[in-house]
Amino acid sequence: MLPVLFAQAEACGYPKPLAQGQGFKVKTENRKQKTVNPVILQDDRKPREHCGIFGIYGHPEAARLTYFGLYALQHRGQESCGIVTGDGQRVSQHRGLGLVPEVFNKDILERLPGHLGIGHVRYSTTGSTVLINAQPFLVQHGGQSIAIAHNGTLTNAREIRCRLEDAGSIFQSTMDTEIIVHLMARHRGANVVESLINALEHVKGSYSLVLATADKVIAARDPYGFRPLCLGQLNGSWLATSETCALDLVQADYWREVEPGEIVVMDAGGLHSHKPFAPAPPKHCIFEFIYFARPDSQIFGQSVYLVRKRLGAALAREHPLKGDLVMPFPDSGTYAALGYAAATGIPFEMGVIRNHYVGRTFIQPTQTMRDFSVRVKLNPVREILKGQRVIVIEDSIIRGTTTRSRVKSLREAGAKEVSMLVSCPPHRFPCFYGIDFSQKGELIAAQQEIDQIRDFLGLDYLGYLSLDGMVAATQMDHDNFCLSCFSGDYPVLLEGDFSKTCFEEDLCAPGPLEGQPVVCERE
Ligand code: SF4
């Protein structure tokens, strides 16, 4: 499988990984070649991001509502968070490392005055988990403050950063997001909106953004619409946020999605829409439906809860197993399990009980923490499992190590048979658009066939939902989605080497680079 994967990844423009200790060359015209480390499937250094964004304009308690909005979006990032507010004249900022209730309190919120605000919760992707990389990222330019919060990954960030550094730019952070404000300064327009449009013409990849100045909030979404971004209304104020669950918490009404490629400006003149970019085919991240978004959210025009139930029903059609009970490993797979149970008539049970005071293992940043979390997070209910044929519904198997431990715990609790059905196809390819796939342990399905994975996990049966079955469950057309991590077909190619810490290394050799592409070639 590996040679096939590598060949396909390479065909998609991603450099082929080399043997341990080797690298590939980053080459540019007028620039000497230099060796950098490989990034794909051999270590954990690849683009990744989970973030949530929130913005509000025209509310006297903008800071407090932004705080609640971030609270609702906490599942999208737990490493750091921040809020910037504006009162028409000045902006105020607070950000910190940790969860929203750890970083903010009543006194801090009272020091964030204004009728507008933006906020961000972050899981680190590019750049280490340090305060300078917390967002919103605030800069001063042309006599005004500009704050930016980003969900996504810019696939040509490295090339642009090298070019800007060669031209003399000094960066404060090691995040891809910072290049947007540098580009705004470099390609300045008549106003901040024009500057943003000019900047976004240069970046590629995935971005859902909210920006704030002292007197306006701007929401922007990349032309493919990889990440969700929606608009809401609350008593005459306007809101923009990653998921509708944040609107629900502040009792705002959902209005509509920010369309792919759209820039929405909220200011004293109301709400203005700009569509400056050529239309592109939508490529919404289907994995938001499967795993990432909250089930009580509506994204891409669909209820996440209902899509997940339909994924379970589709699994029942494709894998009609005999069993005594259907169960999830909560919260993964819970709603697909409900759908499977409803479709088959097999009782739904909570065969394991979750400790809700432990974070989701998928987003823990280190192997050590992940293993620890497996042990403390789920406790099997022996009275439910003993002697039973158990069908576990999972939303995905990324590395497999956590799943293996969980299956073992079911057997130890007395389960007679353990089968597993996954509500999406095998993840065989990395994601370049903002989801964390593959650390050191890699994507298990990139390396093993399904029967090998079944044996590794200690299962009696393992079945995945087909690609067509997954897409059909969304009740949307194939063409709407990015399916790259399943198909290896990438709508936007990664340009050059990229890793979480690539901007913390000196990989940008001096030399004039304006207008010249960076290419990667194998050594
Ligand atoms: S590659 Fe997968 S996880 Fe990444 S954006 Fe596409 S569908 Fe989503």
Around ligand 1, the residues with Cβ closer than 6 Å are 226, 285-287, 431, 433, 435, 482-485
Are 150 and 51 spatial neighbours (Cβ–Cβ below 8 Å)?
yes
**245 a catalytic residue:** no
**Separation of CA 332 and ligand 1 centre (Å):** 18
3-state secondary structure 398-456: CCCHHHHHHHHHHHHCCCCEEEEEECCCCCCCCCCCCCCCCCCCCCHHHHCCHHHHHHH
Identify the residue whose C-alpha is closest to ligand 1 atom 2. 485
**pLDDT higher than 90, residue 96:** yes
Identify the residue whose C-alpha is closest to ligand 1 atom 5. 285
**Separation of CA 105 and ligand 1 centre (Å):** 35
pLDDT at 106: 96
The β-bridge relationship of strands 325-328 and 389-394 is: parallel
Rounded Cα gap, residues 278 and 516, in angstroms? 23
- Kindly report the CA angle at 462 between 456 and 464, in degrees rounded to 5? 120
**pLDDT higher than 70, residue 505:** no
pLDDT at 432: 86
Q: What is the DSSP string of 199-249?
A: HHTT--B--EEEEE-SS-EEEEE-TT--S--EEEEETTEEEEESSHHHHHH
Q: What does residue 314 show for φ and ψ, rounded to 5 degrees?
A: -65, -40
pLDDT digits (tens, 9 = 90+) for 29-51: 333 333 333 222 222 232 245 79
Band of residue 367 on the pLDDT scale cut at 50, 70, 90: low
pLDDT digits (tens, 9 = 90+) for 457-495: 999 999 999 999 999 999 999 999 999 999 999 998 777
Identify the residue whose C-alpha is closest to ligand 1 atom 8. 285
Rounded Cα gap, residues 46 and 57, in angstroms? 35
**Separation of CA 432 and ligand 1 centre (Å):** 7
**Separation of CA 434 and ligand 1 centre (Å):** 7
pLDDT at 518: 34
Given the residues 12, 51, 482, 508, the one annotated as active site:
51
pLDDT digits (tens, 9 = 90+) for 111-125: 999 999 999 999 865
Identify the residue whose C-alpha is closest to ligand 1 atom 6. 482
pLDDT at 498: 56
pLDDT digits (tens, 9 = 90+) for 257-298: 999 999 999 999 999 999 999 889 999 999 999 999 999 999
pLDDT at 9: 36
Sheet of 325-328, strand order: 325-328, 389-394, 417-422, 461-464
| Closest ligand 1 atom to Cα of 490 | 1
Are 287 and 293 spatial neighbours (Cβ–Cβ below 8 Å)?
no
**pLDDT higher than 80, residue 349:** yes
Instruction: Name the residue with higher pLDDT: 3 or 278.
Output: 278
